[in-house]
Amino acid sequence: MSRTRLADTGVVSLGTKRRTDSFGRLAITDSLLVLGVLSGLAGLVGVFEDLGDGIVLLVTGAVAVAIGSLGRGTYERRHRPTPSRVVGGLAATWAVLVVVGTVVYLLSSATDNVGTALFESASGFSTTALTALDPTQLSSGMQLFRGATQWLGALIGLLAAVVALPGVLRGSVHVPVGQGRRLDRLSPGPTTGRRRVGGIYLGLTILCGLAYALTGMGAKDSVVHALTTVSTGGFTNRADSFISYGAATQIVATVFMTLAGMSYFVFWWVLRGQRKRFLRSTEMWLYFAMIASTTVAILLAVDGITVRHAAFQAASAASTTGLASADWTVFPSSALAVLLIAVATGSMGASAGGGLRIARAGALVAYAQRELRRQLDPKIVTVVKIESRVVADEELERLTGYQIAHLGLCAIGAFLLATTGIDMVSSLWTAISALSTAGPSPITGPSGDATNLSSTARLLLIPGMLAGRLTILPLLTAVIGVLQAKTHLVKWTRRLLRVRR
Amino acid sequence: MDSAAAAGAAMKILRPLEIRRATELHHDRGGVPNTPLHVMGIALAFVAVGMLLSALIEAGSTNRDTGPLVVSGFLTFGLGAFLWWATRPGSARARDVFAAVGWTWIVITLVGALPYILAGTFDLGGTPMTEQIVNSIFESASGYSCTGSTALVDFESPGRGLLMYRQATQWYGGMGIVVLAVAVLPFLGVGGLDLMTAEAPGPSSDRLTPRIAETAKRLWATYAVLTVGVGIALFAVPGPSLYDGLAHGLSTASTGGFSPYGKSIGHYNSVLVESVIIIGMVIGGMNFAHHWRALQGRFSGYVNDPELRTYLLMLAVCTALVVGLLWVDGGLAFGAAFRAGIFNVVSLGTSTGFGNATNQASNGNFVLWVPAAQMVLLFLMVVGACTGSTSGGIKVMRLQVLLGHSIRSVRRTQQPRAVIPVRHGSHAVSEDIVSRMAGFFVLYLLLVLSGIVILTGLGAGLLESIGAIVGSLGNMGPALGEAGPTASFSEAFSQPARLVLALFMIIGRLEIFPMMLMFALPARALRERFS
């Protein structure tokens, strides 16, 4: 069989070894490889404290590394995949990771409830700060594994946003702003992009861990919290999140949460010494402005609150991390409204955070302004710019369509949560927060305690959390698929009836 | 100026398209060329007629507030006549039309508060004057915008004529908005008429006649027929008097929701009355162009309208959902759940805002319902009913087009080069209209978010703020939480919050663009001047 024919069938000949061209399978095996390494490391630490948990983690690590290595030898990405394959591949990766995580939780001493294990795993990989476990009751190994799930989840999200999706969804709203001239690109190719993003991510994690350690936090806690802060995950080893930590630790968390919500393009510009581009990043200044204005709003609304606590809650909400240094659920409604808006808007594009993203929100405001202008002068030609880049009309239309879909999912989620008996504000907040991968809401409290939610509510949140991490595309595609199936069914039934007549 | 001339002139407010023609006709009449003031004068004269007619009812019944109504009527008429006399239509540029519409509604709201202020309607014994004025403005805005939220606590002290004036404010508002929808908005380029044209069978558009003024008259006639029909139907069933029938006819046809009774429709505690009101509200939420054609014996408009089908389906599905939730989760008997569910779903789904709660603990008080049922109501508060109707909200047609637009966005991600039109029924919607509707929706969202931040900043609870802002922008009436169907807004919100809500009611009634531009234009003019 010739090389061309083999390529057509999806199998490429490389000398004596044949590797299948599959983006999805390669993504799964690569992710399993990293999970295996992280799990093994957690097992090595945890085996001395809890032998059972340690063995579970070590075995999981070994199996995952074995599968990952085998996969790397079997699959490769040679051809540019279609958008459906990339989105489907990423969704499948998350599904496999969530299943592996669930099995680990079930085999360990963490829980013997399948629903709880599934929720914890999904919450971890989606970097949502909702937990159905008491973190203080977990062994050190499991605490590390729990943190590692968030770290890996955010890394995959980042690689998807910066490397995978821009390659296939050109001009789409899913492509982050900042892909400038070819030479300046953070991700000129998949391999280089992965290396650069991974390097920055790892560097930030190490810096964050060291900073936590310098504030007097223990080694294990520093590692776990670095993993969950840089990933905007929000899992902690304490039942009260960051409330009982000291001022220095809270300040470090505020700084790194803010950094975690920033675009990796910004970091790249800083590393390359491109000061002008860095300073001209409108999205970054808007992000800072949102954190600052949220801080001021909290200071004005809450009597006696310090700047440190206000800034902490603001950074946590804007970066969608979900950590808390104070019980914000008892704040006055004006502070709550501002926090909710910050959670819904979320962080910068191409960051580890979630939410609608600042650039998209800014583009929507510009779009509304343009439509207002067009009411006065229908023939006027105006353009919307983000980061000095003119956004095409088609892209803006997609953005509005995407935003409507986002809102629709929030509304459906809120309604479904309300059917489980949760009050309206908490239903709305929990749905928005889950879709933004933030987590905590008034009903779960500042620490994101999901045991306050019924098991049905927790199951309902899982698709929302995963959709929030990956982009809502797979979930929407599934919904539209169901709608189209219904339409086809009606058509076929009509045809059948006509034939019988 | 005699009353016939005033009435004839008043009609001109409903015909912005004819302002240019009016300019030519009145060019030699003298006066300052100023379109906004001229339109305002005509509208004020129109409102004065309502005040004076209400004074007649007051004089013939309770005779408590006759004086304030007469004084308000003459003051308003005088002001209107002066403005009409001193000005003539100027330019008919888009910015002047926006200003004319926006400022007219603001001034009418302020002048419409006069009868309440002069009669001391909100004086509960030692109530500060500022509180009385704020409540009066709120009540006036709620009336003219057909919202139905009320600051009234004591429904016994106002006279029957004053309460009838309160009902009439909603009738004016409803009529204005029907005509605005088909006459003003297409001119402004919002796209409602273009879409209605696209869905209408044959070459004739929703302009029922080629002349927009003739169309306005026919819609007005349809509106009057519906009002009288609901009034007679209510009078025919046991319970309501002729006065009650007329009062509720005015606020049902306009999907306003005011009632002369504190318990609203719950005052009668009658299934028959509720049934008549439900039918009236459903009809009020439909496109009035279809009603006109039906009066001519042509019912095809109802059958071929995809918006109408979705509207009725939406009401049916939401009723089933709410009834099911109240029955299964809420612990109500099926009959009670059905009665409470269908009335409130239709009331909020048509943006009317009537309540059927007989007391605070009754089944009709939806703030006591299970959260999921309240969530369905919140959805209805956002959507509203059909275009070309008297209802508020973002409208079913916009929802359909926006959903189609959203689905297309996702499909385009899978097939980037595919040409996928957004369809409404069997017709493809032009990209320009999709874009305008998307712009409208984004503006709506921004307004909702801003409103929530402002209201919570003014001390309102989060749930109350969400309900009140969505309810005010959608011209619904009752909100959620402490501002439910049995509550008065004067107790649930602070003075500044009520003024903010009043502004949002007018913004919502004018479908956002005119008011937003009215505020934006001065800033733009300043910028242009300085640049």
A153-204 pLDDT, tens digit each:
999 988 888 887 776 665 544 455 444 444 457 777 778 888 899 999 999 9
3-state SS class at A350: coil
Residue A397 phi, psi (nearest 5)? -60, -40
Asked whether A89 and A82 are in contact (CB, 8 A), the reply is no
Rounded Cα–Cα distance for residues B402 and B195 (Å): 13
Residue A15, C-beta contacts closer than 8 angstroms, at least 6 positions apart: none
Indicate whether A217 pLDDT > 60.
yes
The count of C-alpha atoms lying within 13 angstroms of the C-alpha of B476, restricted to the half-sphere facing its C-beta, is 34
In eight-state DSSP terms, residue B203 is S
Length, in residues, of chain B:
531
Query: What does the pLDDT read at residue B90?
Result: 67
Q: Residue A378: how many CB atoms within 10 A of its CB? A: 12
Asked whether B281 and B354 are in contact (CB, 8 A), the reply is yes
Q: Residue B106: how many CB atoms within 10 A of its CB? A: 17
Distances (CA, A) of A399 to A149, A173, A362, B103, B244: 30, 6, 11, 34, 50
Chain B contact set for A415 (CB, 8 A): 372, 375-376, 379
A39-77 pLDDT, tens digit each:
999 999 988 888 899 999 999 999 999 998 888 777 766
Indicate whether A101 pLDDT > 70.
yes
Query: What does the pLDDT read at residue B14?
Result: 38
Query: What does the pLDDT read at residue B192?
Result: 33
Per-residue pLDDT band for B196 (boundaries 50, 70, 90) equals: very low
Query: What does the pLDDT read at residue B432?
Result: 83
- Nearest CA to B464 out of B448, B479, B445 is that of B479
- Nearest CA to A234 out of A91, A353, A346 is that of A353
Rounded Cα–Cα distance for residues A461 and A119 (Å): 8
- Residue B329 near chain A (CB below 8 Å): yes
Chain B contact set for A424 (CB, 8 A): 371, 374-375, 378, 463, 480
Segment A93-114 mean pLDDT: 92
Torsion angle in degrees (nearest 10) through CA of B54, B57, B59, B63: -90
Rounded Cα–Cα distance for residues A459 and A457 (Å): 5
Give the tokens for residue A176.
């982050």
Indicate whether A213 pLDDT > 60.
yes
Query: What does the pLDDT read at residue B201?
Result: 30
Query: What does the pLDDT read at residue A474?
Result: 65
Segment B278-284 mean pLDDT: 95
Residue predicted with more confidence, A154 or A493: A154
Q: Kindly report the CA angle at A162 between A158 and A168, in degrees rounded to 5?
A: 125
Indicate whether B24 pLDDT > 50.
no
Rounded Cα–Cα distance for residues B47 and B35 (Å): 18
What mean pLDDT value characterizes chain A?
85
Chain A contact set for B377 (CB, 8 A): none
What mean pLDDT value characterizes chain B?
83
The interaxial angle of helices B371-383 and B306-328, nearest 10 deg, is 160
Query: What does the pLDDT read at residue A17?
Result: 56
Region of B148 (left: φ > 0; alpha: ψ -120 to 50; beta: rest) is: left
Lowest mean pLDDT segment, chosen from B91-105, B229-243, B263-277, B405-419: B91-105
Interface of A with B in 312-351 (CB under 8 A): 332-334, 336-338, 340-341
**Which residue intervals of A9-160 are DSSP H helices?**
23-46, 51-74, 83-107, 114-125, 140-159
B82-117 pLDDT, tens digit each:
988 898 766 666 677 777 778 888 999 999 999 999
Chain B contact set for A402 (CB, 8 A): 406, 409-410
Cα torsion angle, B287, B293, B295, B297, sign:
negative
Q: Kindly report the CA angle at B35 between B31 and B37, in degrees rounded to 5?
A: 75
Residue A391 phi, psi (nearest 5)? -90, 125
Segment B400-420 mean pLDDT: 82
Asked whether B510 and B150 are in contact (CB, 8 A), the reply is no
3-state SS class at B192: helix
Burial A442-479 (b: 16+ CB within 10 A, else e): bbbbbbbbbeebebebbbbbbbbbbbbbbbbbbbbbeb
Chain B contact set for A414 (CB, 8 A): 375
Asked whether A297 and A338 are in contact (CB, 8 A), the reply is yes
- Nearest CA to A153 out of A219, A81, A100 is that of A100
B473-523 pLDDT, tens digit each:
998 888 888 888 888 898 889 999 999 999 999 998 888 877 777 777 666
Residue A232 phi, psi (nearest 5)? 55, 35
Per-residue pLDDT band for A4 (boundaries 50, 70, 90) equals: very low
Asked whether B134 and B498 are in contact (CB, 8 A), the reply is yes
- From the list B95, B372, B457, the residue facing A418 with the nearest CB is B372
Asked whether A109 and A50 are in contact (CB, 8 A), the reply is yes
Query: What does the pLDDT read at residue B15?
Result: 41
Chain A contact set for B371 (CB, 8 A): 418, 421-424, 427
Rounded Cα–Cα distance for residues A91 and A97 (Å): 10
Interface of A with B in 351-380 (CB under 8 A): 364-365, 367-368, 370-372, 374-378
Tell me the percentage of chain B whose pLDDT exceeds 70.
Answer: 82
Rounded Cα–Cα distance for residues B296 and B199 (Å): 19
Rounded Cα–Cα distance for residues B392 and B351 (Å): 6
Q: Kindly report the CA angle at B161 between B157 and B166, in degrees rounded to 5?
A: 85
Per-residue pLDDT band for A11 (boundaries 50, 70, 90) equals: very low
Give the tokens for residue A76.
């490769």
Query: What does the pLDDT read at residue B219?
Result: 78
- Determine the distance in angstroms separating the CA of A364 from the nearest CA of chain B, rounded to an integer: 7
Residue A358, C-beta contacts closer than 8 angstroms, at least 6 positions apart: A283, A286, A287, A290, A345, A346, A347, A348, A349
Tell me the percentage of chain B whose pLDDT exceeds 90.
Answer: 46
3-state SS class at B441: helix
Instruction: Give the ipTM.
Output: 0.86
Length, in residues, of chain A:
501
Query: What does the pLDDT read at residue B36?
Result: 73
Residue B33 phi, psi (nearest 5)? -70, 105
Segment B324-344 mean pLDDT: 94
- Residue A206 near chain B (CB below 8 Å): no
Per-residue pLDDT band for A418 (boundaries 50, 70, 90) equals: very high
Query: What does the pLDDT read at residue B526?
Result: 65
Query: What does the pLDDT read at residue B434?
Result: 87
Give the tokens for residue A41.
């490391």
Query: What does the pLDDT read at residue A139?
Result: 92
Query: What does the pLDDT read at residue B190?
Result: 39
Q: DSSP assignment of A305-318, as one string? A: --HHHHHHHHHHHH
- Residue A207 near chain B (CB below 8 Å): no
B57-87 pLDDT, tens digit each:
999 888 888 999 999 999 999 998 998 889 8
- Residue A455 near chain B (CB below 8 Å): no
Torsion angle in degrees (nearest 10) through CA of B497, B499, B504, B509: 140
Indicate whether A481 pLDDT > 80.
no
Query: What does the pLDDT read at residue B11?
Result: 41
Rounded Cα–Cα distance for residues B372 and A411 (Å): 11
Query: What does the pLDDT read at residue A236?
Result: 93
Rounded Cα–Cα distance for residues A480 and B30 (Å): 62
Tell me the percentage of chain A whose pLDDT exceeds 90.
Answer: 50
Cα torsion angle, A397, A402, A407, A411, sign:
positive
Give the tokens for residue B186.
């297409």
Rounded Cα–Cα distance for residues B265 and B253 (Å): 15
Indicate whether B220 pLDDT > 70.
yes
Among A73-82, A320-329, B30-39, B149-158, top mean pLDDT goes to A320-329
Give the tokens for residue A182.
């070819």
Segment B7-32 mean pLDDT: 47
Query: What does the pLDDT read at residue A485?
Result: 67
3-state SS class at A449: strand
State the distance between the two ends of chain A, measured CA to CA, in whole angstroms.
52
A249-294 pLDDT, tens digit each:
999 999 999 999 999 988 988 998 888 878 888 889 999 999 999 9
Rounded Cα–Cα distance for residues B255 and A363 (Å): 36
Query: What does the pLDDT read at residue B88?
Result: 76
Asked whether A119 and A132 are in contact (CB, 8 A), the reply is yes
A355-402 pLDDT, tens digit each:
888 888 888 888 888 888 887 777 777 887 776 777 777 778 888 888
Rounded Cα–Cα distance for residues A46 and B143 (Å): 69
Indicate whether B23 pLDDT > 60.
no
Which H or E element spans position A10? none
State the distance between the two ends of chain B, measured CA to CA, in whole angstroms.
44
Residue predicted with more confidence, B274 or A6: B274
Q: Residue A85: how many CB atoms within 10 A of its CB? A: 15
Contact across the interface for A421 and B371, Cβ inside 8 Å = yes
Query: What does the pLDDT read at residue A282?
Result: 86
Query: What does the pLDDT read at residue A210?
Result: 96
Query: What does the pLDDT read at residue A72?
Result: 78
Asked whether B508 and B515 are in contact (CB, 8 A), the reply is no
Query: What does the pLDDT read at residue A467?
Result: 84
- Residue A279 near chain B (CB below 8 Å): no
CA A412 to chain CA mean position, Å:
20
Rounded Cα–Cα distance for residues A59 and B493 (Å): 61
Indicate whether A238 pLDDT > 80.
yes
Query: What does the pLDDT read at residue A401?
Result: 85
The interaxial angle of helices A247-260 and A190-214, nearest 10 deg, is 170
Indicate whether B216 pLDDT > 60.
yes
- Nearest CA to B110 out of B136, B92, B148, B87 is that of B136
Query: What does the pLDDT read at residue B234?
Result: 95
Nearest CA in chain B to A300: B457
Chain A contact set for B466 (CB, 8 A): 425, 428
Asked whether B377 and B366 are in contact (CB, 8 A), the reply is yes
Rounded Cα–Cα distance for residues A176 and A192 (Å): 17
Query: What does the pLDDT read at residue B530?
Result: 67
Indicate whether B235 pLDDT > 60.
yes
Per-residue pLDDT band for B182 (boundaries 50, 70, 90) equals: very low
